[in-house]
Every structure is written in C-alpha cells, then in structure tokens.
Amino acid sequence: MPRYDRAPLLRPRKAIVGGVCSALATHLGFPVSVVRLAMVVFALFGGSGVLFYLWLWAFVPLAPALTRVDAGAPVSRRAPVGALLLAAGTVVAGAAVVLANSATTPFAAIVGATLLAGAAVTWSLAFDQTDATRSARYRTLVRTLGAALLILTGMLLLASHGARPDAVTAVLAVLMIVLGAGVAAAPSVMRLWTELMAERAGRVRQEQRAEIAAHLHDSVLQTLALIQNRAGASSEVARLARAQERELRDWLFAGTAPAEADLATQLRDIAAAIEIDYPARLDVVAAGESAGPVNPALVAASREAMLNAARHAGGEVSIYLESSREAFDVFVRDRGPGFDLTALPADRLGVRESIVGRMSRAGGAATVRRGSGGIGAEVHLHLDRALRKESPQESTGGGPA
Amino acid sequence: MTRVLIVDDHSIFRSGLRTDLDETIEVVGEAADVDSAVARIAELVPEVVLLDVHLPGGGAGAGGGGAEVIRRSAALLGSTRFLALSVSDAAEDVVGTIRAGARGYLTKTSSGAEVSRAIAAVAAGDAVFSPRLAGFVLDAFGAVAGEQAVADDELDRLSAREREVMRLIARGYSYKEVASDLYISVKTVESHVSAVLRKLQLSSRHELTAWALERKLL
C-alpha cells in the first residue's frame, strides 16, 4: 500500500472565503499564491475555476476544532464577501439601468444584478450570522443595502424609457422589487421562526419534565415516605430519606419556585438544614402572601427558635408562618420538656438574647410560653410589615399571645 | 373495630400500612386501582377507605385518581368515609380530594399511630385536618388577609372562631390542645372543623379553585 506523506485535504477554520485554496496548497505542497492564481486563470476560461472552487468547497471537509471548547465554533472568514458581492451587484445594476435607457436589451445585466444582490444577502444570512468577526451592524447593513439595491434598481428599471419599459424588463423589475421586499422582511421572518422553534422545544422539555416528575412522584417519593415510616420518625435513616425527599421535591418543582426567596422559602430551607443535624422533624406551614423584603432579624430569630426546639425538644416541631398584610407571625411549637423563660439561668443566652432581644431591637416582639396542656413550648415572633424598613429601635415588646 | 379498606397502587405501602395500624382497626381488603377500588367499596362497604390520591386506571373524563373513586362511590358517602393519604402535599391534590368528598388528608410520612387516630376520628364522623391542610384553608378562604364571615351559614368565608381553630391546628395543636387553649370543649372544636370541611367542599368561592390551580405544586 503506497504511503503519501501529504497533509490531509481539509479546509481551515480561519479562511478568506471558503478556505479552498489554502486547503489545496497545504495538501499539494504548493504556495498558496500559485494555487490562487491558477484558480483565477481557470475562472477566466468559461468560469471552470469558479465551478471547481465551489465543488471543492462543497466536498472538502472542514478541519476539526483544535480544542473541545471550539468544537461548535463557527468558521471565520476574512474577506467581506457580502460587501464585495453587494458592490459588484451595485455596479451591474447601474449598468442595467443605463442599458435599459439606451437601446440595448439589459436582461443579462438585470439577472446578474439580482443574483449578486441576492447572493450578498444570502451570504450575510448563511455565513456572517455565525461569524464572530462580523459585527451585527455590518450584517444589518449588508442586508438593508441589498434590499434597497433590489427595490431601487427595480423602480429605476420601471421608470426607464420614460416609464415605458419593454415587457421583459418590466417583469424582471417587478420580480426584483418583490425580492427586495422579501429580503427586507427576511430577518423578522427568521426571528419569528427561531422563536417558534425555541418555544416548541421548550414546551417539549416542559412536558418531559412533567412526565418525569409524575413518575418520580409515584415511585421514588413513595419509597422515601415508606422508608421514613418504617425507620421511625427521628432515626438516622428516616432523616436521610427525608432530606432526599426534600431535595427531590425541590428539583422536581424547581421551575415553580419564585426567584427571590420569600420568608416561607427561607424558613423551609432553615428547617431542612436543621433536620440534617438534629433528630427532629420540622414541619413548616405557611399561610398568606410572604413575598417581599424579609427582615434578617426575623429570619435569624426564627432560626434560633427552630434550632432550640430541635436541640432541646426534638421529635415533632411545628412551624407556622402567617403573613398578613400588616405583619408576619411565626410560631415554633415543640413537644419537649418545655422551659420557663423567667426560671432560665442567666447563661442561657440563646432564648433571651437571640430571640427576645433580637426581635425587640428589630421593632417586633417575641413571646415564649408553655405549650398547651403544659406540653412543650411555643415561641411566637411578631413583626409588623411597616416597621421592617425602619432603623432598629428598642421597644418593649409584649406581643399578642 | 373499624373496618378499613386500603386503596394504594404500591403493594409494599399497603402491606406496610397494614402492619402499622393498631389493633382497633380491621383491614377488610385492599385495592390497587380506581376500578377495583370502586368494586371493592361497593362489595365490602367499609367504614373508612384509606385512599391514595394518585391511582392508575379510571375513566379519562371522571378526573382519575382518588377523587374519581370518591365520586363514583358517592351513593355510599353516608356509610363509608374517605381519608386521603398521599405523598403529595400539593394544594391542587389536597383541595381537589377534599372537595370530591374526603373527610381528611394525611401525608404518607404520618406514623401508623397517627393514621390509626385519624381513622378513628373519620369513622366517628369528624374531619381530620393536618397543619398543612389548615394552612391551605386559611389561605384559600382569605382568612389571613382578614376576611371574615358575617353570617354563620356563609360558605365562602370562615367565621372568627373557625379561623382561630384553623390557626391553632396550623400551629401543630391537637384538637384537645385547641380546646383547652380556646376554653371550649373538644366536641365544639370538632364541630368547627367539620363546618370548615363542609365549607371547603361546598364553597363556590372562586379563589378556591383558581388558587389551587395557580399555585400548582407547593
């Protein structure tokens, strides 16, 4: 089997037009200028060079990207082919108008001008669109000028011979105007199309997600619930299963959560974090609209109350957040041994400072009381919505029980 | 003995629940999908049906799931009571099942003792409200925003007392604790809860449906 020590025939990613000449030069070992000259010479013989160029362009593969990051990277072309085609189109169009007003038939020139302007616009849409070296302004300019050239030439042709062009010229001129209008509308049509496609893809994804969610809902969540049940509410296994369940729920319904974390979401997150560390089950129930800015003092005090309940009482802890138009109310209820605030030793700073002190400094109120029937304890935090932006000020908070 | 039928499409969950329930409850049967559930209910006439919200089978037009089982067994609603049991705590599932006629709603993470207590309560004609369901109710009836029923028979809003009871349940209080906190009897608490359940089922309040739809899954 003979071996060729030749570089493979591949078109480079950084090219002038199509990269065909440099690909041929690299492959054959000739200087690029020689190959280019040969192409031009052949092009002069009935355009065979042009055909050969286009044929190679179509069939020679593109060089693979060097890095993986470039994998989807488009090809960049140095020559402003769109602008060149447009310029050539303008010249030919001028010639066509002149010819149309003199005696000779301008058909070839008209068709040539149309093709060149169309090619300029097509190039701009097909190649410049993905080319990073071309600015958006350049693309718009080529397209706009292409459309303008078509429409203008068409009108001038219609006006030739004192507004009495011959039949073929008139038909070609009208076609030019129609094409020009089409080119002018092309970007918005394309945009509409892309948007339609994107919307459709989005919907399909949404449906797929809903299907997955429904399936997981029926299978995995059931199993996790079962594990929690069988393992006992506050065992290690149950806590793990519960944490997993939470994560899964968050993931499944991620799309429906508001971007800005409201108070209810924050409390749920805190509860989830505490559950991982302590053998307790924290159930957060929220009622009312808790959106809007959240006072960090209220969050911190709630956190402290929940942490206290999980640490000292454990078991089931109920958290209830009520967000009315005027105020936020947070209740943290546990079923542990309970504690009496007045009988608390002075070193137990947790409740006195972190909850009661913090709330009163924020302009709210905190009350700690024995749970109903003497079981456990309940912390009630109250903060008026109107106060949440004022500077912290001391107030003696009694608060409703 | 309370005669109970368990309807759930996961056999492992059915058998787990069966062993967890205490001895005052007799499980008379099990069913795994909508059609067999309806047939078993008609045949056995259990006192309480433990019903999963998401079930396979059933007609496309009837809503499907647990709600369809309740609707198709509507003739028996006088003697058979439904207690919904689900992994879902989504508003639309909860409100939808209650409005179909269930007397209570529990999540599947509830312990066997909790479920047993709930079965006893439902069998006695009471309603079972979890803290979460109470939260939903407060939200759905605009009670948090301060709306209050003027007349007792008003279906679209909660009375002041009902609101108090719901708030305490949402805070994790048992009926007994609610009763002692409000200085009323447990029976009164139960009647308030039943009244709220009735409102939840009968109210045509626009927000109830719109709200459940809009919130989708919580």
Nearest to A381 by CA among A315, A302, A303: A302
Q: Are strands A76-77 and A14-15 parallel, antiparallel or unpaired?
A: parallel
Q: What is the pLDDT of residue A196?
A: 92
C-alpha distances in angstroms, A133 versus A17, A75, A383?
Answer: 13, 10, 57
Q: How far is B201 from chain A (nearest CA, A)?
A: 19
pLDDT, position B77: 74
Contacts of A256 in chain B (CB under 8 A): 216-217
Taking the C-alpha atoms of residue A139 and residue A118, their distance in angstroms, rounded to an integer, is: 14
B142 touches chain A (CB under 8 A): no
Q: What is the pLDDT of residue B218?
A: 33
Instruction: Kindly state the tokens that stand for A25.
Output: 């030069």
The nearest CA of chain B is from the CA of A340 a distance in Å of 18
Contacts of B41 (CB under 8 A, 6+ apart): B5, B31, B49, B69, B73, B76, B80
pTM: 0.62
Residues of B with CB below 8 A from A400's CB? none
CA distances, A344 to each of A45, A255, A301, B70, B110 (Å):
104, 45, 18, 53, 34
Show the CA angle centred on residue A73, arms to residues A68 and A76, nearest 5°.
135
Of the two residues A255 and B124, the one the predictor is more confident about is B124
Looking at residue A47, its amino acid is G
Question: Dmax over Cα atoms in chain A, in whole Å?
Answer: 114
Torsion of CA A19, A20, A25, A28, to 10 degrees: 140
Size of interface A-B (CB pairs under 8 A): 97
Q: Interface pTM (ipTM) of the complex? A: 0.81
Q: Do the beta carbons of residue A86 and residue A149 sit within 8 Å?
A: yes
Residue A15's pLDDT is 79
Cβ <8 Å between A322 and B145: no
Q: What is the pLDDT of residue A176?
A: 86
Cα–Cα distance for residue pair A319/A196, rounded to 1 Å:
45
The answer to whether A233 faces chain B, any CB pair under 8 Å, is: yes
Residues for chain A: how many in total? Answer: 401
What is the three-class DSSP state of B31? Answer: strand
User: What pLDDT tens digit does each residue of chain A (401 aa) get?
Assistant: 455 677 788 888 777 887 888 888 888 888 888 888 888 888 888 778 888 888 888 888 887 766 555 545 567 777 788 888 888 888 888 888 888 777 677 778 888 888 888 888 888 877 777 777 777 788 888 888 888 888 888 888 888 777 777 788 888 888 888 888 888 887 788 889 999 999 999 999 888 877 887 777 767 888 888 888 777 766 778 888 888 888 887 777 665 555 567 888 888 888 888 888 888 888 888 888 777 777 888 888 898 888 888 888 777 888 999 888 888 899 998 887 766 555 555 555 667 777 888 888 888 888 888 776 667 888 899 988 865 444 444 444 443 43
Nearest one of A166, A178, A159, A36 to A117, comparing CA atoms: A178
Q: Which of A228, A288, A324 sits opposite B109 (nearest CB)?
A: A228
| Chain B stretch 9-28, residues whose beta carbon is closer than 8 A to a beta carbon of chain A | 9-10, 12-13, 16, 20
Residue B107, SS3 per DSSP: strand
Q: Region B58-75: what's the mean pLDDT?
A: 72
Distances (CA, A) of A275 to A146, A295, B73, B77: 66, 23, 41, 40
Q: A255 or B11: whose pLDDT is higher?
A: B11
Q: What is the pLDDT of residue B155?
A: 73
Helix (H) or strand (E) holding B83, with range, is strand B81-86
The B48-52 sheet, strands edge to edge: B25-31, B2-7, B48-52, B81-86, B104-107
Residues of A with Cβ-Cβ distance to B87 under 8 angstroms: 217, 221-222, 225
Question: What is residue A200's predicted lDDT score, i.e. its pLDDT?
Answer: 92
Q: In the prediction, which pLDDT does A21 show?
A: 85
CA closest to A322 among chain B residues: B144
Compute the distance between CA of residue A187 and CA of residue A184 in angstroms, rounded to an integer: 7
Q: Which residues of A touch B105 (CB under 8 A)?
A: none
- Rounded to a whole number of angstroms, the distance from the CA of A281 to the nearest CA of chain B is 11
A contact residues 95-114, partner B, Cβ 8 Å cutoff: none
At B67-121, the pLDDT tens digits run: 888 888 877 777 888 998 887 767 677 777 888 888 888 888 777 888 898 898 8
CA pair distance A212, A234, nearest whole angstrom: 30
